[in-house]
Structure 1
Amino acid sequence: MFRVTRPLNHNALLAFDMEDGREYLVVGRGVGFGRKPGERVGREGLAGAGDLQLYLLTQQVDGRGTPRELVERIDPAVLDVAEGILEDARATFGAVDPNMLLPLADHLAFAVTRVRDGGALSNPLTEDIRALFPREFETARRGVSELERQLGVTLGDDETGLVALHVHSALDSGHVEQAMQVAQLTRACIDAVERLTGAPIDVSSMDYNRLMTHVKYMVTRIMRDERLSIDVNEMIRSEAPQSYRTAQAVCAEVEVLLGKDVSALEIGYLAMHVARVAGER
C-alpha cells in the first residue's frame, strides 16, 4: 500500500510505501492523474496506469544527486517531457532502459535554464550525431518540440543532438559518454579523410553513410572486446595506401580515446570505407 505524498504531474508522483517504510518517485502513464496528497492506493491501483518505474528517493542517480534532490530542482513539466521522450523511444524502438529518465530530465532542466539565462550551447558533433543515430535524433526532436510547446523554450539542433545521445543510451543500456565517444571518433575519421582528399565529404553520399555506420560498429566492437576474423590488410594496403595510413592514424586515436587496444584487422576494414569516400578505389 502506498500513501501519496506529492503528485508531480499526470505521469509522476511521490509516494510512501507503507510496507517497506521508504518513499519513492513513481513514474508511469497517468499514475499521478487526480491523485491527492495523503491518498492511499494499492500497488495494483498504481499499476493500472501501465508500466511503472520506482526510484528510491535516497538512492544516488549517476552522480547527479538523489531522486528527491532532482525532483526538487526539476520543473514537473520537464520531467513530463522526459517521460514522453522515453515513451516515444519505447514505441519506436521497443524496450528502453527506464533508469535513463532522471538523467535525461536533469539534462533537459539544465538546458532550459541555460537558454533562459541567455546561454547558447555549441555542439560541433550535431551533424555526426544526426547521421549516426537518425531515428534517435528524430525522437529527440519530437521531445524538444514538446518542451517548446509546454515551456516556450527553444533548444535548437545542438541540444537536440545531445538529447539524441540520451535516447541512444537508453536503448543499449550504455552511457551518454560512450555515445559521445562514437560521435567524436567518427568526426575524427571524417576529418582525416577530408585532410587526405583536401575536400569536404559529401554528407549525403551513400559512401559517407557507410563510413559513419562502420565507425559506429567498429567502436562498439572495440568497447565489447569483439574481434574480426578476416584479414584484408595486405590487399587494401596495396590498393589504397593513403587510405590505409589514414585508417592507421584513426585507429591510433581510437586507442588513445578508449584506452583499449585496437585489433590490426580493424585497420583494413576501416581503410576500405575510407578509400571509397576518398575515391582511392
Structure 2
Amino acid sequence: MYRVRKVLNHNSIIVVGVDNNISADPENDEGLKSYLVLHKGIGFGVKISERLDLPKDASIYSLEKTTERGNAMSIVNAVDPVCLEISDAVLDEAEKAFGKVDRTIVFPMADHLAFAVQRIKKGESIRNPLKDDIRLLFHMEYQVAETVAPVLEQKFGLVINEDEIGFIALHVHSAIVNENVARSLQTAQIVRNCISYIEEKTGHKLEVTSLGYNRMMNHIRYMVTRIETGELLKMNLNDYMELKYPDTFKLSADICNQMSRLLKKSYQDAEIGYLAMHIARVIGVE
C-alpha cells in the first residue's frame, strides 16, 4: 500500500510506502521510502495522503537513488513531469529492443531532456560532433532515442535535432550496459580519434557506409572495453599481420599505445594484429 505525497500531473505522482497495519502520520514521512509512479491517469482526482494500490503496469522508481546528475528527488522536483513521462516511454522502447535495462537512468535522461527543451525554446543549440559516430556505434540505441522526436513535438510543439538525439542515445546505451554517459561519450570520442588518425596516416577518406568501416568501429569500441576490463583475445594474428602488412601493423601498434596511455591501462599484444586486420580491410591494402 502507498500513500500519495505529491501529485506532479495527471500521469505522475510521488508516493511513500506504508504498512496497512500501521496508521502512519500523514504529516510525517520520516523513515518512509519515497517513489515516483508513472501511469496514465494515476494523478487524476487523487488527494494528498490518499492511500492507493498501484496498477500492476505502473512504472515505479525509488527516489532514494543518487545519479550522475544528482539526487533523484531533486531532479523530480526540478524538471517538468512530462520529461519524466517521455524518458519512461523511451525506456519502454529500450526494453522492447534490448530486454532488461537499468531504468534508474530515467532521472538523468529526464534532466537532460528538460535542459534540451529549454534550449530549443530559447533557440539555442548544443553541438554534438560525435553524433554520426554515435549513430553508427550505437545504432539500435539511436533508433530508440529517435522515438523522443514525435513525442516532444506532440507535448511541447518542439523539434529536436540530431545532435540532441545523439546524447539521448548515450543515455539509452548506459541503461543497457550499466555504464555512465560520460564513459559512453569517451568511448565514442576514442573511436572518432582512431578513425581520424587512420585517415590522416593512410591518406584514405574512409567510407562510413561500408561494412568494413562499421566492423572496424565496433572492433575499436569493444577493444576499449577489453582494455578497461582486462578481457583477453583467444587468438593472436600478430606474426601474420606484421609480416604481410608491416606498415598497417605499425599504425595499429601506434593506435593501441595511444589508447593505452589515454585509458591508463595496458593492452594485450594480440590487439595489435586484430586491429591491423580491420585497418587493412577498410583501406583495401593488398
- Which whole-Å CA distance do the structure 2 matches of 1:105 and 1:169 have between them? 14
Deviation at 1:32, TM superposition (A): 2.3
Report the alpha carbon displacement of residue 35 of structure 1 after superposing the two structures with TM.
5.0
What's the CA shift string for 1:138-183, capped at 9, x where partnerless?
1101113312321122221111111001101101111112211221
Partner of 1:195: 200
Please state how far the C-alpha of 1:11 moved relative to its aligned partner.
4.4
For 1:212 and 1:110, how far apart are their aligned partners in 2?
30
Provide the rounded CA distance (Å) in 1 between the counterparts of 2:89 and 2:59: 13
**CA deviation map 1:166-206 (0-9, x unaligned):** 10110111111221122112111211221133131111111
Residue 74 of structure 1 contacts residue 109 of structure 1 at CA under 8 Å; is this kept in 2? yes
Letter paired with 1:101: V
2:221 & 2:115 partners in 1: Cα distance? Answer: 28
Give matches, 1:56-205, under 5 Å: 56=64, 59-62=65-68, 64-205=69-210
Q: Does 1:254 align with 2:267?
A: no
CA distance in 2, matches of 1:238, 1:82: 52
Structure 1 pair 218–39 and aligned structure 2 pair: CA distance change class (3 A): same
Q: Give me the whole-angstrom Cα distance separating, in 1, the residues matched to 2:216 and 2:209.
A: 12
8 Å contact from structure 1 (residues 104, 163) kept in 2: yes
- How much does 1:116 deviate? 2.3
What CA distance in whole angstroms lies between the structure 2 residues aligned with 1:28 and 1:255? Answer: 44
Deviates more, 1:85-94 or 1:67-76: 67-76
Identity of aligned residues (%): 36
Matched with 1:49 is: 57
Q: RMSD of aligned C-alpha atoms?
A: 2.0
* Structure 1 position 278, deviation (Å): 1.3
Question: Which residue identity lines up with residue 6 of structure 2 in the other structure?
Answer: R
Number of paired residues? 276
Q: Post-superposition shift, 1:14?
A: 0.8
Q: Is the 8 A contact 1:196 1:278 kept in 2?
A: no
Residue 48 of structure 1 deviates from its aligned partner by 2.4
Once residues 41 and 255 of structure 2 are traced to their aligned partners in structure 1, the CA distance between those partners, rounded to angstroms, is 49
CA distance in 2, matches of 1:95, 1:29: 19
Q: What pairs with 1:231-270 in structure 2 (closer than 5 Å)?
A: 231-270=236-275
In the alignment, is residue 219 of structure 1 matched against residue 228 of structure 2? no
Is 1:32 paired with 2:42? yes
Provide structure 2 residue ranges, at least 5 long, that are not aligned to the other structure: 20-29
Residue 98 of structure 1: CA displacement?
Answer: 1.1
Contact 2:38 2:85 in 1 (8 A): no
8 Å CA contact 1:222, 1:260 repeated in 2: yes
CA separation of 1:133/1:10 partners in 2, compared to 1, >3 Å: closer, same or farther?
farther
Q: TM-score, with normalisation over the residues of structure 1? A: 0.90
Q: 1:11 to 1:233 in 2, by over 3 A?
A: farther
- Partner Cα separation in structure 2 for residue 47 and residue 180 of structure 1: 37
Report Cα offsets for 1:87-125 as digits up to 9, x if no partner: 111111111101111011111111222222332111111
**What is the TM-score normalised by the length of structure 2?**
0.89
Distance apart, 1:82 and its partner CA: 0.7
Give unmatched runs, 5+ long, in structure 1. Answer: none
Q: Could you say which residue in structure 2 is the equivalent of 1:5? A: 5
Q: CA deviation at 1:211?
A: 0.5
**How far apart, CA to CA, are the structure 2 residues paired with 1:201 and 1:10?**
51
CA displacement, residues 190-227 of structure 1 (integer Å, 9 cap, x when unaligned): 11221133131111111111101211221122222101
